[in-house]
């Protein structure tokens, strides 16, 4: 069975502490998925719950989405190793971060195409390159600001929303900044791959 605790239905982090909530939930459930904003909060839940806690989305990471996307890529190409996956758009959001970590582990050629102001943190890029080296996955990680150069030769192209949950006030500025990174038919053709796969984590805002 599953119990859904919606945002308004508990005092977690407001009245009761996260640690106390974690201890109580850990006694009642076999596992806890947390979907919210703060990475520290999911970390604290996991420190105190005594049962598996996993991230269902935070501002920093979105690993469960990556599991689903990688299953799709594997289904399409029969492998992940050596697949060139290009993410264009906001290069330092939860999806870009988690795709980069996943790609490093699975031996993919992962490219971020993003404006310099939205490049991922250098520390995380270095950590991913180290993961690739330590597990000898063969992964290659690149970060470019030229979207057309980034998508060249892609097996799969990925993008995300203009601005993530909680950043809605930044949408007008982001649309301006990220328009050159929008996945249009012209961008798809720049891959040079007529069988290129396109992925989007949703939600997609069409207007």
Residues that bind ligand NVA (CB under 6 A): 62, 65, 93-95, 160-161, 164-165, 201
Contact 84, 155 (CB under 8 A): yes
Q: Dihedrals φ, ψ of 82, to 5°?
A: 80, -5
- Tokens for 24, please give them: 């109580």
Q: How far is the CB of 165 from ligand NVA (least distance, A)?
A: 4
Q: How far is the CB of 163 from ligand NVA (least distance, A)?
A: 8
Q: How far is the CB of 26 from ligand NVA (least distance, A)?
A: 26
CA separation for the pair 47, 105 (Å, rounded): 24
Contact 158, 87 (CB under 8 A): yes
Q: Dihedrals φ, ψ of 171, to 5°?
A: -60, -50
Residue closer to ligand NVA by CB (options 46, 93) is 93
Residue closer to ligand NVA by CB (options 91, 107) is 91
Residue closer to ligand NVA by CB (options 149, 171) is 171
Residue closer to ligand NVA by CB (options 42, 161) is 161
- Please state, as a whole number, how many other Cβ atoms lie within 10 Å of the Cβ of residue 175: 13
Paired strand residues for 141: 110
- Nearest residue to ligand NVA by CB is 164
Q: How far is the CB of 57 from ligand NVA (least distance, A)?
A: 6
């Amino acid at each position: 069975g599953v119990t859904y605790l919606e945002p308004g239905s508990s005092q977690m982090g407001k009245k009761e502490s996260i640690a106390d909530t974690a201890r109580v939930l850990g006694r009642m459930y076999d596992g806890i998925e947390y979907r919210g904003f703060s990475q520290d909060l999911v970390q604290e839940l996991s420190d105190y719950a005594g049962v598996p806690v996993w991230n269902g989305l935070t501002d920093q990471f979105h690993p469960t989405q990556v599991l689903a996307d990688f299953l799709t890529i594997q289904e399409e190409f029969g492998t992940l190793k050596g697949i060139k996956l290009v993410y264009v758009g906001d290069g330092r959001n939860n999806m870009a971060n988690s795709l980069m970590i996943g790609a490093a582990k699975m031996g993919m050629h992962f490219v971020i195409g993003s404006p310099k102001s939205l490049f991922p943190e250098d520390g995380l890029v270095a950590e991913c390159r180290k993961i690739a080296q330590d597990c000898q996955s063969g992964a290659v990680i690149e970060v470019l600001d030229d979207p057309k150069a980034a998508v060249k030769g892609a097996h799969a192209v990925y993008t995300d929303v203009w601005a993530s949950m909680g950043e809605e006030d930044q949408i007008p500025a982001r649309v301006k900044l990220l328009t050159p990174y929008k996945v249009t038919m012209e961008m798809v053709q720049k891959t040079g791959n007529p069988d290129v796969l396109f992925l989007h984590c949703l939600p997609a805002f069409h207007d």
